[in-house]
Amino acid sequence: MCGIFGIITNQDTISVGNIVFEGIKRLEYRGYDSCGIVSLSNSKLYLKKDSGKIDEIQRKINLAEIPNNSKLALAHTRWATHGAPTKINSHPHLDCHNKIAVVHNGIIENFLELRKELTQNGHIFRSETDTEVIPHLIESQMKKGLNFKDSVIESLKLLKGAYGLAVCQVDNPNSIIVARKESPLVIGIDEGKTTYCASDIPAFLPLTKKCYIMDDDELAILKAGEVEFINLLTNEKVKKELRTIEWSIDAAEKGGYEHFMLKEIYEEPTAIRRTLKISKEQLKIFANILWSAENIYITAAGTSFYASLAGKFILTKFLGKYIQAIECSEFQTQLTNSLKKDSVIIAVSQSGETIDTVEAIRWARSYKDVKILTITNVVGSTLTRYSDNVIVTQAGPEIGVAATKTYSTQVLTLALVALEIAKLRKVELESDIVKYERALRSTPQIIENFLKNNIDLIKGIVDTLDKSAQFFFLARGISIATAKEGGLKLKEVACRFIEGYSAAHAKHGPISLVRAGFPIIFIAPPDETYQRLIGNVMEFKARGGKIISLVVESDNVIAELSDLTIKIPQPGDKYHNIFSPITFIPALQLLAYYASLLHGLDPDKPLNLSKTVTVH
Ligand code: AGP
């Protein structure tokens, strides 16, 4: 995944260099191994790019400094796929004569054959990237006499793969051409004055709240303060809805916190409260479809998959049907011969752009007559286009690469659907459903209370575990999802090796690693698995393991057995226990966050990771 940003304006009073620099910085979460800016002025392209993080490059070559009279600029922040993260491979990429510049997010699958053909026709390539074929293709179309727009259109016809791209050309200083296929692209507009393009809305949010969301196979011609859309399949103009973004830029920026990850953990209560307001109608649609379904699957990647595991547990309780959870990358492989028509598939994805999730759903749709229910945090994302029904979680923009508030809102959404099913099926007493609802509605307050009183405790635990490089996160029942997700956070942002596992299963192998002082984090709400979990705690304690437990306030059994204890301020009844994946997770997210700081890492930019994985 990469980030692209572009601006075209007719205003003399604004500094294009600063705007494009700030814009691309707000997209740094999408990739941060190299960055570049191209500006156009006096019929010439001015290119600045290098490898490294944006601030480092800024210090080195002052990216933001571009010719004063520039009214057009494009920028890119890269997460390498084809070619190492070097200066030469960083974007923008130019044609042979430095007249065309392209920034691109996605992968051109047939770039090798295109490159070979272009090379045979005399084009000189400078980088190892797939992207570089694009400016050369446009160059060769223009050489044939086509105008800028038609050259881009004809070039796009030759590409196989995914792209969100922006192009400028020196003889067309009044326009930027952008196009989208399977990689996100949004257009911001200050009518009559300035137009922006970006991979994500926060990039231009401080500048305008008016935007268009591009669809696949669309091209747009951006002029200062105006935009025209063309459907690439029909070649016809498209009239698109101008949307007003309700988020404030504060929601998209750090707002006083040292890192986005910390800010987003603190935003969990608000995100949950907003998501609790999802319309009953939408929940009922999901509930009815699931109630009448014969075969139900749930699919996702990473954190969204762990949210799905927790959600599946809650859904199954109230639905009384088996739900199969399959990682999206395995979906097609596992179901090629067994996916039945009339199946219902729940797809969960924060971004709605994860390629494996999108592909699983696309495959399922084309293969069988199935229904797709999507839960995502991003309106208009690719996944939503392949879905019969969509619920958008109300987490707000999540910038930290490690998912935090989107996890809790995904579990919450699945829980809300589950409670709607409970009402339909009437298998629970009405008074019980009321208590479950009350417990679910109390989750933001529980998290707020926890955050208020436990930061020093978490920091202290992190200090104590300073030297530990390996951890087990163990649990039973629904809390296995919490163990896996809590462990994933520590792995991602603190670079510790962890195994998130079933506590019972752990004695069938993993326990052999335990030596004196080996840290084991037990997630232990007092649900139906609690008594047996005590046995598991004893097993690991007997082998010298350092026991860290996550329990409810009133716990005094596992807490007593533990070396260190984190107490979540919530009742230990069945109504609250089932929603513990929501209330217990912030403690583990914070543990990971402070461990990351202790090890001198940047929790917002975990090594080798990207916020949205758009490659297989
Ligand atoms: C979460 O911390 C990770 N960055 C990653 O596992 C992520 O959850 C996964 O890539 C799925 O992304 P999605 O929810 O946008 O589909």
Lowest mean pLDDT among 97-111, 213-227, 374-388, 491-505: 374-388
Asked whether residue 1 carries a pLDDT value surpassing 70, the answer given is no
- Among the atoms of ligand 1, which is closest to the Cα of residue 350? 14
Using DSSP's 3-state secondary structure scheme, residue 99 falls into coil
- pLDDT score at 436: 98
- Evaluate whether 151 touches 179 at the Cβ level (below 8 Å): no
Whole-number pLDDT of residue 378? 82
Q: How far is the CA of 400 from the centre of ligand 1 (A)?
A: 11
Cα–ligand 1 centroid distance for 565 (angstroms): 29
What pLDDT digit, counting tens, does each position of 527-586 carry?
Answer: 999 999 999 999 999 999 999 999 999 999 999 999 999 999 999 999 999 999 999 999
Sign of the dihedral defined by the CA atoms of residues 597, 604, 402, 278, in that order: positive
Q: Rounded to 5 degrees, what angle do the CA atoms 52, 57, 59 make? A: 135
Q: Name the residue with higher pLDDT: 182 or 599.
A: 599
Task: Check residue 166 and give left, alpha or beta (phi > 0: left; psi -120 to 50: alpha).
Answer: beta
What is the spatial distance between Cα 428 and Cα 363, in angstroms, rounded to a whole number?
Answer: 37
Q: What is the pLDDT of residue 608?
A: 83
- Residue 447 Cα distances to 267, 290, 488, angstroms: 10, 30, 20
Q: Would you call 345 helix, strand, or coil by DSSP?
A: strand
Q: What tokens were used for 31?
A: 């990739």
Residue 247 has pLDDT above 80, yes or no: no
Average pLDDT over residues 337-360: 94
Extract the tokens encoding 249. 């830029």
Question: What is the per-residue pLDDT for 612?
Answer: 79
How confident is the model over 454-464, as a mean pLDDT?
97
Mark whether 280 is an active-site residue.
no
φ and ψ at residue 548, rounded to 5 degrees: -115, 125
What the block records as the tokens of 355 is 């390629």
Ligand 1 pocket list (CB less than 6 A): 301-304, 349-351, 354, 357, 401-403, 492, 609, 612-613
**Of residues 254 and 371, more confidently modeled:** 371
Per-residue model confidence (pLDDT) at position 148: 98
Q: Rounded mean pLDDT of the chain?
A: 94
Which amino acid would we find at residue 513? L
> According to the model, what pLDDT value does residue 30 have?
80
Separation of alpha carbons 323 and 336, rounded Å: 18
Rounded distance, CA 481 to CA 488, Å? Answer: 10
Tokens of 469: 């490089």
pLDDT at 383: 93
Nearest to 20 by CA among 166, 174, 218: 166
- Six token digits for residue 1: 């995944």
Q: Could you tell me how far CA 394 lies from the centroid of its own chain? A: 14
Identity (one letter) of the amino acid at 210?
A: K
Atom in ligand 1 nearest the alpha carbon of residue 328: 16
* Catalytic residue flag (residue 611): yes
Q: Structural domains in the chain?
A: 3-245 (3.60.20.10), 257-441 (3.40.50.10490), 451-606 (3.40.50.10490)
Looking at the predicted structure, is the pLDDT value of residue 428 above 70?
A: yes
Residue 304 alpha carbon to ligand 1 centre in Å: 6
CA–CA distance from 366 to each of 323, 361, 362 (Å)?
A: 21, 9, 6
Instruction: Among 29, 265, 299, 304, say which to mutate for ligand 1: greatest number of ligand atoms within 8 Å of CB.
Output: 304
How far is the first Cα of the chain from the last one, in angstroms, to the nearest whole number? Answer: 11
